[in-house]
Structure 1
Amino acid sequence: MLGTIKTIAIIGAGPSGLCCVKNALEYGFEVTVYEQNSQVGGLWIYTDQIGNYEYGLPIHSSMYKGVVTNIPVESMGFFNYPFPKKEKSFVSHEEVLKFYQSYANQYNLNRVIKFRCHVVNVKPTPNNRWEVLSRDLRRNTYEIRVFDAIFVCNGHYNAPYIPNFEGIDEFRGNKAHSHDYRRPEKYQDETVLIIGCGPSGRDILHEVAPKAKKVFFSHHRNLAGYNMPSNVTQAGDVKCFKENSVQFEDDAEEQISCILFCTGYTFSFPFLSVDCGLSLQDMFLSWPLYKHLININKPTMAIVGLQICAYSYMYDLQARLCLKFWNGDIQLPTKKQMLEEFRIEKERRVEKGNDIRQSHLLGVDQAKYLQDLSNIGQMIKIPNVLLKIYDDCNELRTQYPNTYREYNYTIIDDETFERKHIPS
């Protein structure tokens, strides 16, 4: 029964998990966090080691050596704990990890985290609680515990997605996903095909090109004004592969020695039992969730951070909404009403032409979504200045795709900001 919840399990100690821990402890809940790494930070933990797998999933993050944030750090803080002012608004992954570690230290969160502890299975109990089976990776021992509610915060950058191209198994060269990319030296003097034009695809392109003999960049975006290295050839979608070559949809065929798939990730919750009330469609769509967050069938489960959003403040709002609901401070719509809202939202996305991989993409709806969370949870709202900075950064990224990180933001007040160009 909601309002009588005492114990909460949290899976993952990345940014979203840490935010849930902090807020849950402040509410007075008894909290246990399961984290398979040996430190907090999730995605932002860098390691040279790859290929270390537990239960079929890689336990190294997708962080590569040269990562610099593609959103300003002004958007990456939490309520009452903003990112410290830096000389630059776009910083290295080391600085971001340091920030999340400082957040954990500030609120003494490590005391409730079980490090190197892998969640094997989560299932509901007959009395509407949650049974968590975990494995201690250091001792190779198993433990079962039962909780009143559960936050799932395992992120969405841990299960690489590779399209099923014709002939891919026949290709004899090196194949890798950006999840396993670490440094560009591996591609010295190679002829590389990079597939995908998201943030990682563009960043990796500029790292690999100076080392490679030649790079083919396969994508279908308009990159007008984007300065490519001289040895990069832009190409369309891939049609098929052969032993040592790739053929594109226009039937052009090129010899290549390596493929780098910068093709994104699938949603993956291998620890959730089939009776948790959620389902995955083609490994991308998890439903039914109220506000992309609360399991409508079993509302004492929430998946935090499922959406790709420009603000860490979203984690704060999501966590607080759930905790207020579980604590009995607010009420949500009935199950029937939530399912109807979900149906309408799903149909709206189909009408807009969103494919299945965009089921939880907020895009231009970010501001409305965040406002909805605040209104439903009767909570503080994100200052308008952060929404304005996000819009401004988007424009910068479009106008100056090669140099937008040379701009620095300063927040003046809740409505205004200042932007300066600081050449590298």
Structure 2
Amino acid sequence: MVLRVGVLGCGAAGLSALRHLSARPAVFQCVGFEQSSKIGGTWRYTDKTGIDTNGLPVQTSMYKNLRTNIPKEVMAYPDFQFPEDWPSFMDHPQVLKYLENYADKHELHKYIKFNTKVDNVEPLSSDNRTGWKIDYSSVDCTDQSQSTDFDALIICTGHYSVPLMPKLDGLDDFKGLIIHSHDYRYPEIFDGKKVVCLGGAASGQDICLDICKNAEMVTLSHNKPLIQSPLPDNIKQQPGIEKVKANSVVYKDGAEEECDALLLCTGYRYSFPYLSENCGIEIIEERITPLYKHIVNAKFNTMSFIGMCKIICPFPQFDSQVKFVLSTLDGTQKLPTPEEMSAEIEEDYQNRLGEGLPHRYAHFMGPKQWDYNDSLAELAGFTPIPRAIQKLYNEVHRTRVLDLPNYKTKQYRITGEDTYEVVSA
């Protein structure tokens, strides 16, 4: 029996799913659903923000000058490397070109319904291994809905599209510019301004470096340990924001600072508006439940999610997660019972809380990603990600901590399963 599998979203995660599904036509028949007219997801840059030409929210959060913060040597799908003559730290047009080349090589476009919005997803029964009904429509003609049934669904719509807006006392009273990083495109909007950037994670750090050449002063406001790396003279650090006034902010240490703009690098929400309540998926303060291995819907194990983990080496992990899912669908591995999966989900969550991680870090990986990736490979019986990827990823993190403004000037090369080298600095 050939299983019909629907893939929702055709960015990097969805393309990986289609690549592995389409490679096994005797087992799987696949259809991809993509809201835009082309593949690439968040890697497809546009100057537009807010609403697109079809009246739908702009999905991408890409800004004009973005370069990757991990090198191409660790970022590639395992079976498809980036061109050797490209720099280790690429700009976003290069990453998009890579994804287009990947799709072309595996002839993936023929499986994708472009300009197609998924309106609703329903399980076909209450059985754990149920099928699924997808209602969908053209983005420019939403009143003419169609439906198709599938044996399984793989959700690949990402989590960089719906801004997580902070709840700040007085934010509505601020008279200057307020912009979330989702809508940030180019630094010229901050010419001569005093900017407070809220959020000290990777995107906040990178965007501060992007805008400091235009802004008069940039204050990076966050609750993390202070960045120890040298920073440009017009970037300084302050604690998180306690409240906002008309022309200033008050930090948690009581200090007050005048500013012209607030840049909110406060992350994104998980959002699956097309999933009906009957799908059994809940999002509670950025924790998706019940996801076994952060992938499989424990209530309906023919629904899976790719790319929900945060702070990861993305494309290799997407590839591993997809292989894991296919092993559950083709019978290579037998999933635990729903009760057993729920117990493991809760154990993982409680372990995180026990380590001092906040609730919203339910899908945070960071250093955890390597053991996690290895566990997927062991359960599904595929070759794990080479140890050299982990070693180089960790080295880049170390270098970033020491020299945030300049770490992207280095060039690397993988030299073996367990080794890499610095080509130039």
Residue 143 of structure 1 corresponds to which residue in structure 2?
Answer: 146
Matches within 5 A, 1:157-306: 157-282=160-285, 284-306=286-308
Alignment partner of 2:162: what SS? coil
Residue 6 of structure 1 corresponds to which residue in structure 2?
Answer: 3
Which has the larger displacement, 163-172 or 309-318? 309-318
Alignment partner of 1:88: what SS? coil
The one-letter amino acid paired with 1:146 is D
Alignment partner of 1:419: what SS? strand
TM-score, with length taken from structure 2? 0.94
The one-letter amino acid paired with 1:86 is D
How many Å apart are 1:95 and its aligned residue? 0.5
- Residues 1:366 and 1:96: Cα distance change in structure 2 (over 3 Å): same
**Take 2:59 and 2:288, find their aligned partners in 1: how far apart are those partners?**
24
**Take 1:57 and 1:239, find their aligned partners in 2: how far apart are those partners?**
34
**Partner residue of 2:400 out of 397, 407, 412:** 397
TM-score, with length taken from structure 1? 0.94
How many Å apart are 1:224 and its aligned residue? 4.6
Residue 41 of structure 1 corresponds to which residue in structure 2?
Answer: 40
What percentage of residue pairs aligned between the two structures are identical?
A: 33
Which has the larger displacement, 151-160 or 356-365? 356-365
Residue 20 of structure 2 corresponds to which residue in structure 1?
Answer: 23
1:230-263 CA deviation, whole Å, 9 max, x = no partner?
2333211111111222111122222222111011
**Take 2:8 and 2:166, find their aligned partners in 1: how far apart are those partners?**
28
How many Å apart are 1:340 and its aligned residue? 1.5
User: Are the aligned partners of 1:321 and 1:376 in contact in 2 as well (CA < 8 Å)?
Assistant: yes
**Partner residue of 1:133 out of 125, 132, 135:** 135
How many Å apart are 1:161 and its aligned residue? 0.7
**Take 2:402 and 2:41, find their aligned partners in 1: how far apart are those partners?**
32
**Take 1:113 and 1:241, find their aligned partners in 2: how far apart are those partners?**
46
**Take 1:219 and 1:59, find their aligned partners in 2: how far apart are those partners?**
27
User: Are the aligned partners of 2:42 and 2:160 in contact in 1 as well (CA < 8 Å)?
Assistant: yes
Residue 410 of structure 2 corresponds to which residue in structure 1?
Answer: 407
Alignment partner of 1:361: what SS? coil
The one-letter amino acid paired with 1:334 is T
Alignment partner of 1:364: what SS? helix
- Residues 1:76 and 1:400: Cα distance change in structure 2 (over 3 Å): same
Matches within 5 A, 1:40-79: 40-52=39-51, 58-79=57-78
- Residues 1:55 and 1:115: Cα distance change in structure 2 (over 3 Å): closer
How many Å apart are 1:56 and its aligned residue? 9.4
The one-letter amino acid paired with 1:289 is L
User: Are the aligned partners of 1:5 and 1:149 in contact in 2 as well (CA < 8 Å)?
Assistant: no
- Residues 1:232 and 1:388: Cα distance change in structure 2 (over 3 Å): closer
Which has the larger displacement, 226-235 or 194-203? 226-235
Residue 327 of structure 1 corresponds to which residue in structure 2?
Answer: 330
The one-letter amino acid paired with 2:350 is E
The one-letter amino acid paired with 2:296 is I
How many Å apart are 1:349 and its aligned residue? 0.7
**Take 2:82 and 2:121, find their aligned partners in 1: how far apart are those partners?**
34
User: Are the aligned partners of 2:226 and 2:237 in contact in 1 as well (CA < 8 Å)?
Assistant: no
The one-letter amino acid paired with 1:13 is C
User: Are the aligned partners of 1:409 and 1:419 in contact in 2 as well (CA < 8 Å)?
Assistant: yes
Residue 86 of structure 1 corresponds to which residue in structure 2?
Answer: 85
User: Are the aligned partners of 1:177 and 1:260 in contact in 2 as well (CA < 8 Å)?
Assistant: yes
How many Å apart are 1:339 and its aligned residue? 1.5
The one-letter amino acid paired with 1:287 is T
User: Are the aligned partners of 2:54 and 2:140 in contact in 1 as well (CA < 8 Å)?
Assistant: no
How many Å apart are 1:409 and its aligned residue? 1.2
Which has the larger displacement, 224-233 or 25-34? 224-233
Structure 1 residues without counterparts, runs of 5 or longer: none
Alignment partner of 1:27: what SS? coil
1:264-288 CA deviation, whole Å, 9 max, x = no partner?
1111111111111211102x01111
**Take 1:212 and 1:224, find their aligned partners in 2: how far apart are those partners?**
20
Cα RMSD, aligned residues only: 1.8
1:11-32 CA deviation, whole Å, 9 max, x = no partner?
1001110000011111222211
**Take 1:24 and 1:250, find their aligned partners in 2: how far apart are those partners?**
53
User: Are the aligned partners of 2:229 and 2:401 in contact in 1 as well (CA < 8 Å)?
Assistant: no
The list of structure 1 runs, each at least 4 consecutive aligned residues, that deviate by more than 6 angstroms after superposition, is: 54-57
Structure 2 residues without counterparts, runs of 5 or longer: none
